[in-house]
Amino acid sequence: MRNVTVVLDSGPEDLIGTAGSVTVVRAPRRGRDAADDEIVRRVAPGDRVITSDATLAARVREQGADVEGAGTFRRRLDSAQ
* 24: CB partners within 8 A, 6+ apart: 5, 6, 8, 15, 16, 17, 18
Helix/strand/coil for 21: coil
Taking the C-alpha atoms of residue 46 and residue 44, their distance in angstroms, rounded to an integer, is 6
Clarify whether residues 27 and 62 are in a common domain.
no
Q: How far apart are CA 46 and CA 61, in angstroms?
A: 10
2 and 38 assigned to the same domain:
yes
1 and 28 fall within a common domain? yes
pLDDT in tens, 13-34: 888 999 999 999 999 999 999 9
Residues 62 and 27 reside in one and the same domain: no
Same domain for 55 and 73, yes or no, is yes
The pLDDT mean for the chain works out to: 93
Domain of 4? Answer: 1-42
Q: How confident is the model at residue 1 (pLDDT cuts 50, 70, 90)?
A: low
Counting the structural domains of the chain, the total is 2
